[in-house]
Amino acid sequence: MSLLLKVENLDFKYQDTDVLKGINLEVNAGDFVGILGPNGCGKTTLLNNINQWLKPHRGSIYLKNINIRKLKPKILAKHIATVPQDTSIEMSFTVEQVVLMGRNPYLVNFEAEKERDFAIAEESMKYMDIWHLKEKPVRELSGGEKQRVLIARALAQEPELLLLDEPTSHLDINYQWELLGFLKKLCLNRGITIIAVMHDINLASMFCDKIILLKDHKIFKMGPLIDVINEKNIKEVFNMDVHVCFQEYTGRPVIVFLGRKENINIPRPFNTLHVICGGGEGEKLLHYLKKRGYEVSVGVLNKGDTDWLTAKMLGFDVIEEVPFSPISDEKIEENTKYVKKSEAVLLADVPFGYGNLKNLVCLKNILHQKKIFVMEERAIESRDYTNGMASQIYRDIRDRAVVLHSFDELKSFL
């Protein structure tokens, strides 16, 4: 296989905080590479350095031996396409209009799409099985359908390299497998190289050929799936005891999580807690709080969200919104009542878009009334998809909160 991407001695910082340190990696054409690691280790930041959305402080990135800093954005967009984690599309574009946006690198300013552009957009929609939705407004689609639209838009760029940031987040398990199946076929049938940040180790194991395992902002281990996914590496990186077995027909590793022992006998500082989370960022926190015996309420979460499922399973009170919809004023009012009843509030390390921004506003409105704990494993700038609105509100909250930079630090307080 020919070398497509090479990263040499890459460092990146947010202000004075190291996010990536000494990153060296090589990816061959046609690889399906999964990036795994704890929250805040730099997974998304690595993608955004590769696509030049962020500029590294040191180091070089080469695409087919060409330093990508020498490529103009429109030229780079013909080679690298990105599907970000945030799938919100606020305006009333149709599916076809969104997919046609992928043809922008091939058009000069104000140039109309040509017959070839429409043909490529059609091919991309048919490949992702959304051709029948072409005239439907994107805001009326389900989360799984929206994700396929964004991938179709990326395919319309005709890229050699496709970058995806947690493409299966907020999707039910059947949609997760379906979507990853589409991506796997892109590698096998079209030779498109894929690098995807993954949240679920077992999903990565089922579909990826190679794994990049990040820890402490560095590459801990990188290589073929079978060399990276093992009990020792998972324990070292995620601090979790696991058992690794192998599928009979594929030989791919399957992780069985055994958990870890927690000191749950120390006195609790509070009895009641309200947790603001979402997208799986609160899953570990909620399990821990259950073990500690806290009375927990959670919200506002969309039905079907990973944290919604966890909270319901654990028997917590959940303020729930309909799937894939922005938080309504009615639900925020209900959420506020739970916040006021609690003795303290815990804000997880959540990405914020316009859909869940009201959770932050709700928290800001009770700043002087409650003890607030903020989990900050990643800089807010790296998870703000609201053009800075979330960052501004978050900083006001942060200034009056107890800031916790890791799960171990949280356990020393709660």
- pLDDT (tens digit, 9 = 90+) per residue, 180-229? 998 999 898 888 999 999 988 989 999 999 999 999 999 999 999 999 99
Q: Please name the amino acid found at residue 377.
A: E
pTM: 0.65
Q: Give residue 317's pLDDT.
A: 93
Q: Please name the amino acid found at residue 237.
A: V
Q: Is the pLDDT of residue 87 over 70?
A: no
Q: Give residue 262's pLDDT.
A: 54
Is residue 370 within 8 Å of residue 345, measured between CB atoms? yes
Q: Which residue has the higher pLDDT, 114 or 85?
A: 114
Largest interatomic CA distance in the chain: 69
CATH for the stretch 3-255: 3.40.50.300
* Mean pLDDT value across residues 104-132: 92
Domain borders along the chain are 3-255, 272-413
Is residue 163 within 8 Å of residue 80, measured between CB atoms? yes
Q: Give residue 259's pLDDT.
A: 60
By the 10 Å C-beta count (0-12 exposed, 13-18 middle, 19+ buried), 163 is classed as: buried
What is the Rg, in whole angstroms, of the alpha carbon atoms belonging to the chain?
Answer: 22
Question: Nearest to residue 237, comparing CAs of 10, 14, 38, 31?
Answer: 38
Residues 21-54: b if buried by 16+ CB within 10 A, e if exposed = bebebebebbbbbbbbbbbbbbbbbbbbbbbbeb
Tally the residues of the chain.
414
Query: In this structure, which topology does domain 272-413 adopt according to CATH?
Result: Rossmann fold (3.40.50)
Say if 3-255 and 272-413 have the same CATH topology. yes
| CA 99 to centroid of chain Cα atoms | 21
Q: Give residue 66's pLDDT.
A: 94
Share of the chain above pLDDT 70, in %: 96
Tokens of 6: 């090479």
Is residue 60 within 8 Å of residue 24, measured between CB atoms? no
